[in-house]
Amino acid sequence: MNDVTQILDAVHRGDASATDKLLPLVYDELRKIAAHKMSGEAAGHTLQPTALVHEVWLRLAGSNEQAWQNRAHFFGAAAEAMRRILVEHARKKQALKRGAGAEHEQLNESALVLTAPPDELLAVHDALDGLAREDPAAAELVKLRYFVGMTMEEAASALDLAPRTAERTWTYARAWLHREIRRTR
């Protein structure tokens, strides 16, 4: 059992000091993920990696559901929190600059890139709930790859999947999302 999993277990048991021990262990990794995600954004972007990590941490630490089972579960929760923050930010940006009724853009399935325009990010977000109902593991993989910016190897490790299984799941999820987004346009 690694350090993160042990501390998460202590958090689950109610050890108040465990949360303070957890942040230093996961902060650098969360910061690296956020910096990678934000590296493709335009200069002067209002959301910075440090702010994104801090917002994720506040949501996770302030949650009443601190029953993370292991490292993969914790980073899955972090991915979900990061996804929600990025979607909220994209919605605000879209409402301010492009109008709330903007038409969805088709998802470019050949390159789910980290520098996705707000319309694409929102289209993926909207379709992701349907994918989660059909295949929760595929939805988790999309969250880690698309919204957090993890490599396939990092996401497979975080979800405790074999690399080939992660590749097959990723291919399926991309095709499913592409079809769903095209259907709702």
pLDDT tens digits, one per residue of 56-105: 888 887 766 667 778 888 888 887 888 888 778 777 777 765 545 555 55
Q: Please state the length of the chain.
A: 185
Amino acid of residue 117: P
Domain total of the chain: 1
Compare 36 and 140 and report the one with higher pLDDT.
140
Examine the pLDDT at 120 and tell me if it is beyond 70.
yes
Q: What band does 112 get if pLDDT is binned at 50, 70 and 90?
A: very low
For 147, which DSSP code?
I
Nearest-angstrom CA–CA distance, 118 and 111: 15
Find the domain containing 7 and state its range. 3-184
